[in-house]
Homo-oligomer: A and B are copies of this chain.
Amino acid sequence: MAYNVVGKSVNRVDAVAKVTGKAKYTDDFSERNMLVGKILHSPYAHAVIKSIDVSEAKALPGVEAVLTYKDLPRIKFSTALPGVANDVLDDEQEVDLPLFATAGHPYSLDPGHRDKEDRYILAKKARYVGDAIAAVVAEDAIIASKALKLIRVEYEVLEALTSPEAAMREGAPLIHEGSEGNILSTGGGFERGDMEAALQESDYVIEGEYETSIVQHCHLELQTSHAYVDADGRINIVTSTQIPQIVRRIVAQSLGLPWGRVRVIKPYIGGGFGNKQDVCYEPLNAAMTLAVGGRPVKLELSREEGMVDTRTRHAFKFKIKTGVNKDGTMNAIEISAISNTGAYASHGSSIAGSGGSKFRYLYPVKAMKYSPVTVYTNLPVAGAMRGYGTPQIFYAFESHIEDIAKQLKLDPIEVRRKNLVDVGYIEPLSKNKVLSCGIRECIDKGKELIRWDEKKEHYKNQNGDIRRGVGMACFSYASGTYPVALELAAARIVLNQDGSVQLQLGATEIGQGSDTVFAQMTAEILGLPLSMVHVISQQDTDISPFDTGSYASRQTYVSGMAVEKAALEVKGKILAFGQKMTDIPAHILDLKDQMIVYKHSGEPVIPLWEVAMQSFYDRVNAQPITSDVSNNARINAMPFGVTFAEVEVDIKTGKIKILEIYNVHDSGKIINPQLAAGQVHGGVSMGIGYALSEQLLFDEATGKPLNNNLLDYKLPTIMDTPDIGAAFVEIEDPTGPFGVKALGEPPVISPAPAIRNAVLDATGVAFNRIPMNPQRVFEHLKKAGLL
């Protein structure tokens, strides 16, 4: 369909704001005379706290409060907080603190569907190097830092369990009391079809093992928030989050408050990538302000804290067994996985399962079985990160399918084609139906872009020190979380006298450009130029329409449905008002170029502004036009895509250089091609780091982080980043607004296996562990006899 604003590469609505510094981030909302909070982190990976002496810290001039787990229930709740219990306890009394879960999921009425509650605001026992043991609130950062050094903690050091194997070892100490063998969860697995029979009927059963590492989001803006008790006695938190409504709930839960007594404000944020889909420090920040009578307290992490004391990506180990016929037809896929969730559950119970559930769509083989185990270790907490389990499982399987093709001497693309999903497939477990599927078109386009056949031929039989190869990998994903979780989204539109509108969103702009695509959708439906749609980007849980937040690549699809519904409602009201003014039936009218027009001819009837003016000022019929709609999406659409990569491997140094890389996506209709390409560029860059250089390193014996800074952690720089090609096959999905499907996370999924497969093509060596950094490549190539 032809559109005026949708499908166009208009500038981001926040472009000028962001490049001129006018866009307001959390820090720009600082209160006057704000106190500063700092956290005392554990130096031990696993240790019982025997005693804490905060007397010296408290005595330091300028220190307003020192908090340990013992103080939390004794916080002096402001008397302006009606209805809040104030349990004053004896100093020495041991208490059960409220346990809570930090994962940023919508609340579930089903207790069995909630995240594991395994945290206190401050720890009673250290579970990783960095665990929050105590906190200080002081007049400034220097005093707060000094005070941290004056806190005396006596620890009883326990064995540091720094790998899942160590943690699952018979007799290993328990990181969380009550867990069985340090296993957080064996959930999220599934089985469909008759596995035994499917393996039996296969010509070959091919096995492989694959491993991914711990990486970190490294968003530009660190975790930062400030909190205060407002005049209404409520806790206000201004925070850099993807999920203001969920922060509100979890802060209230962590403090035992009614949820309505917390208010969260989300300004512009400088990236999140899932790390801000977790409620890491807002509860502590709230406790800090309560500890100082409601005065504003700022809690800002350093980069070093941000890299290990927030969340990381789960490292996975996979074992895969595939039953396959001579022609490449796969009959059975059996995957077992161990996911390392670190010291606390966070999103751990969901991520292994989520990876599997998205993987299910790509190859609808007869029998599939997935058995994940998620294990606690004494390492930093793993949580949500772009892709949410899929970069791991697709790295493993798309490597594995390449190995199958190699072993069977078949074309790897043809093996995939033989097994790929088609439109009409109903995934038996989720019951989601694939209503649009462009994966084959994506492959065709990617092959063409990289000149696959030509290069494949050209790179046969290399034997120099510099070798080149091409590789590819596919993925499937979902648009939001349906049917796993609630998909509620909302939007509010307010018409102005001049025909322009405000668009107030519940969904959070986190850099992905959602404000812009929502504005485009609104402008399209209301026949307005984009400059007449004013987006209220900031979310305030008090008044923003309720949306669960930005995650799961749900915004353009799920929140877009709410925007579409809100805009259509406003359009309906405008046309009805137009009918009142002109006597022309609304159903033959339309909106175009700030006019009400005849639908059949486009001929102008009355300017929009005249209708708008009447809606405000007609003495009898005045009724300002607004809409405030909520949408409960009970449907999902599967995006697909592929990465094609060409690499050059320096056999002597182990250095891998990416010569060309293309991501081709079937994300349905693209609302803004330039923004979509930007999303792909960022995702592929993240995927390149995942494949080649990024890994958080820890001392195996002590669990101490070794590279939690941007110098030693090898994030790809612009020098490491090739030109990234982004392409789309725009097949409109019937369920999405304007035919869209998800695009937020997908770009990060397939680059790593594509690069791995290109390296295999170049060298003949299979790298079954990422990152393929020079040291590891060198070692492997040496072992393989190439050196």
Q: Which residues of A does B touch, CB under 8 Å? A: 13-14, 16-18, 20, 22-23, 28, 32, 80, 82-83, 106-109, 230-234, 249, 258-261, 486, 488, 490, 492, 494, 496-502, 504, 531-532, 534-536, 542-543, 545-546, 613-614, 616-624, 626, 628, 630, 632, 634
Contact = CB atoms under 8 A, between A and B. Distances in A.
A534 B622 contact: no
Contacts of A535: 232
A619 B17 contact: no
B632 A258 contact: no
A251 B233 CA distance: 36
Given A109-B614, A258-B500, 11 more contacts: A16-B80, A16-B231, A16-B233, A28-B32, A232-B535, A486-B622, A536-B542, A546-B616, A619-B634, A621-B632, A623-B632
Contacts of A259: 496-498
A80 to B, nearest CB: 5
A109 B624 contact: no
Contacts of A233: 16, 531
Nearest to A618: B109
A542 B493 CA distance: 10
Contacts of A83: 531
- By Cβ-Cβ distance, the 8 closest A-B pairs, closest first, are A17-B231, A260-B500, A260-B496, A22-B231, A258-B498, A546-B624, A260-B498, A628-B628
A107 B616 contact: yes
A111 to B, nearest CB: 12
A80 B260 CA distance: 39
A542 B534 contact: yes
Given A233-B16, A624-B490, A260 B497 contact: yes
A100 B515 CA distance: 36
Contacts of A18: 231
A628 B623 CA distance: 11
A621 to B, nearest CB: 8
A201 B534 CA distance: 66
B531 A107 contact: no
B542 A543 contact: no
A740 to B, nearest CB: 22
Contacts of A32: 28
B17 A497 contact: no
Contacts of A632: 620-623
Given A488-B624, A613-B109, A617-B108, A14 B500 contact: no
Contact of A106 (B28, B232, B261, B617): B617
